[in-house]
C-alpha cells in the first residue's frame, strides 16, 4: 500500500517538528450537507501531525471569540456555551477542528483558527458558506431539520475588522468575555445596524409544527439590551423589553425568540403549531437608544400547491414562501401597531382598559410626586436647622466656655 499525500508531507516535516515548526491546513475542501439543529465541523489540522495537547488554540468568528483552549482546558466564548467543543482525543494527532452543535444559518461565515506553541503562532481562516450551485446564498433554510448544502474552504483574505489575539498576552477566564465585549462596543458605538432577512422561495412544512420567521442584525452585534417588537399585520405578536419576552394574547405559548442567540444579533421569531391563519405579513422593529430599524417579511402559502381558503388539516404538508417585502404601512396601521404593543406592555386585552390603566397610574404618579414634594420640604427644614444644631453643640462641648 502506497503512502498518502498527507503521510508523505508529515514524513517530510518530521525533522522540523522538534523545533515547533508547523502549519495549519484544511485537510480537504469538500461540500457538506448539514441539517439545521445538527452538528457542524469546521476542519483544521496541524502539519506535520504533531501533538497540539500542550498548545494554545483559539477559534473566533467575524463577531467575536468562539472558544479558547489553554492549559488543557476549553473555555467557550459568549453565546457559545454548551455549543462548542474540540476533538480533544485527537489533539495529539494535530486535529484542532472546531465542532459546533445546534447548527443554525447564522453560523455561516468565516472562522479563524490560531494555534500558539512557544514563540510560534500560526493561523488560518476557514470560510463556511451555502453552496450557490445548490442553494442560492440569498435563500437560507430556516426550518429545524431542513438540510443545507455547505461549502467549506480556506479563505485567502482576512477582514480588517477580524478580532486579533496576542500570542504573548496572559489568558484568564474573563479574557474571552472582554474580547467579545470590546468588539461589541466598537461595532455598536454609533448604534449602526440594519435588519436583514435571508429569502427563501419554497419550504415544505407540516401544519401543527413550528417554523421561523428569520431576521437578524448586521453587523451581528448584541441585541440583548435592545427592544424588539414583532407584529402579524397590525397585531403585536410578542414584545422583548428589559430582557423580558411578553407573549401577546392569542399567541400565548406559541411564540418565542431565540434569546440565547440575541447576543449574536439573531432576532428571529419562532412560531409553534403552524396554522393557515399564520400566513401573512410580519413586521419586526428593533430599537436601540435613538435608533430604530424595521423590516417586513411576507409569509405566503404557494397558491398552486394549496389555497389558504382550503384550510388543510393538522399534519398536512404545505409549501411556504418567505421573503422581504416593500410594504408601506399606513399611518392608521402604525397607530394600531403602537396601540397593540402598548396593550402588551400594560397587559390589557381591551383598548378601553388602557384608559383605566392610564387613570390609575396617573393617580399613583400624582401621589408619588406629592410624597416626594413633602419629603423634599422636610429635608429642606433639616438642612436649615443643621447649622444651628452644630453651633449649639459646639457651645455645649466647649470646655473653656
Interstrand relation of 291-301 and 317-324 (parallel, antiparallel or unpaired): antiparallel
Q: Which residues contact 42 (CB under 8 A, 6 or more apart)?
A: 59, 97, 98, 99, 100, 111, 113, 126, 128, 152
Give the helix/strand (H/E) hosting 65. strand 65-70
- Phi, psi for 95 (deg, rounded to 5): -85, 110
Identify whether the C-beta of residue 39 lies closer than 8 Å to the C-beta of residue 104. Answer: no
Rounded to whole angstroms, the Cα distance separating 260 from 114 reads 26
Better-predicted residue by pLDDT, 305 or 127: 127
C-alpha cell belonging to residue 183: 468588539
Residue 55 has pLDDT above 90, yes or no: yes
Among 35-44, 129-138, 363-372, top mean pLDDT goes to 35-44
Nearest to 393 by CA among 401, 212, 269: 401
Q: What pLDDT shows up at residue 224?
A: 93
Residue 135: pLDDT band (50, 70, 90) is very low
- My answer on whether omega of the bond before 219 falls inside 30° of 0, hence cis, is yes
Q: What pLDDT shows up at residue 393?
A: 67
Residue 113 has pLDDT above 50, yes or no: yes
Better-predicted residue by pLDDT, 166 or 332: 332
Q: What pLDDT shows up at residue 165?
A: 35
C-alpha cell belonging to residue 246: 411578553
Rounded to whole angstroms, the Cα distance separating 258 from 264 reads 10
- Fold held by 5-186: Immunoglobulin-like (2.60.40)
Lowest mean pLDDT among 30-34, 70-74, 89-93, 108-112: 30-34
Q: What is the CATH number of domain 194-353?
A: 2.60.40.10
Nearest to 140 by CA among 173, 107, 166, 112: 107
Q: What pLDDT shows up at residue 46?
A: 93
Residues of the chain with CATH 2.60.40.10: 5-186, 194-353
Better-predicted residue by pLDDT, 37 or 176: 37
Q: What pLDDT shows up at residue 250?
A: 79
Rounded to whole angstroms, the Cα distance separating 319 from 190 reads 41
Residue 19 has pLDDT above 60, yes or no: no
Among 143-147, 177-181, 205-209, top mean pLDDT goes to 205-209
Nearest to 308 by CA among 281, 275, 269, 282: 275
pTM score, whole prediction: 0.46
Q: What pLDDT shows up at residue 227?
A: 94
Residue 357 has pLDDT above 80, yes or no: no
Amino acid at each position: 500500500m502506497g503512502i498518502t499525500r498527507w503521510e508523505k508531507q508529515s514524513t517530510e516535516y518530521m525533522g522540523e517538528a522538534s523545533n515547533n515548526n508547523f502549519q495549519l491546513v484544511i485537510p480537504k475542501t469538500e461540500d457538506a450537507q448539514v441539517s439545521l439543529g445538527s452538528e457542524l465541523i469546521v476542519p483544521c489540522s496541524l502539519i506535520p501531525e504533531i501533538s497540539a495537547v500542550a498548545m494554545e488554540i483559539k477559534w473566533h468568528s467575524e463577531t467575536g471569540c468562539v472558544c479558547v483552549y489553554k492549559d488543557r482546558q476549553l473555555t467557550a466564548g459568549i453565546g457559545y456555551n454548551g455549543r462548542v467543543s474540540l476533538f480533544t482525543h485527537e489533539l495529539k494527532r494535530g486535529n484542532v477542528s472546531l465542532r459546533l452543535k445546534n447548527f443554525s444559518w447564522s453560523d455561516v461565515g468565516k472562522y479563524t483558527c490560531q494555534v500558539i506553541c512557544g514563540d510560534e503562532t500560526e493561523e488560518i481562516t476557514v470560510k463556511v458558506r451555502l453552496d450557490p450551485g445548490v442553494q442560492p446564498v440569498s435563500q437560507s433554510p430556516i426550518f429545524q431539520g431542513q438540510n443545507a448544502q455547505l461549502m467549506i474552504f480556506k479563505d485567502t483574505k482576512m477582514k480588517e475588522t477580524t478580532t486579533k489575539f496576542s500570542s504573548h498576552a496572559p489568558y484568564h477566564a474573563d479574557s474571552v468575555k472582554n474580547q467579545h465585549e470590546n468588539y461589541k462596543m466598537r461595532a455598536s458605538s454609533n448604534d449602526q445596524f440594519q435588519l436583514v432577512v435571508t429569502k427563501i422561495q419554497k419550504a415544505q412544512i407540516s401544519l401543527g409544527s413550528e417554523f421561523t420567521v428569520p431576521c437578524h442584525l448586521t453587523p451581528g452585534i448584541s441585541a440583548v439590551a435592545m427592544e424588539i417588537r414583532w407584529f402579524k399585520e397590525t397585531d403585536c405578536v410578542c414584545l422583548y423589553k428589559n430582557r423580558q419576552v411578553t407573549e401577546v394574547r392569542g399567541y400565548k405559548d406559541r411564540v418565542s425568540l431565540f434569546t440565547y442567540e440575541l447576543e449574536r444579533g439573531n432576532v428571529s421569531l419562532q412560531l409553534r403549531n403552524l396554522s393557515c391563519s399564520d400566513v401573512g405579513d410580519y413586521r419586526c422593529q428593533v430599537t436601540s437608544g435613538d435608533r430604530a430599524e424595521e423590516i417586513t417579511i411576507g409569509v405566503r402559502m404557494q397558491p398552486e400547491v394549496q389555497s389558504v381558503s382550503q384550510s388543510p388539516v393538522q399534519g398536512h404538508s404545505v409549501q411556504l414562501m418567505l421573503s422581504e417585502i416593500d410594504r408601506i404601512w399606513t399611518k392608521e396601521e402604525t397607530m394600531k401597531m403602537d396601540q397593540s404593543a402598548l396593550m402588551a406592555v400594560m397587559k390589557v386585552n381591551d383598548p378601553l382598559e388602557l384608559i383605566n390603566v392610564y387613570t390609575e397610574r396617573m393617580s399613583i404618579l400624582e401621589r408619588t410626586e406629592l410624597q416626594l414634594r413633602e419629603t423634599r420640604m422636610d429635608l429642606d427644614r433639616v438642612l436649615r436647622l443643621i447649622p444651628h444644631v452644630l453651633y449649639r453643640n459646639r457651645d455645649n462641648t466647649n470646655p473653656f466656655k
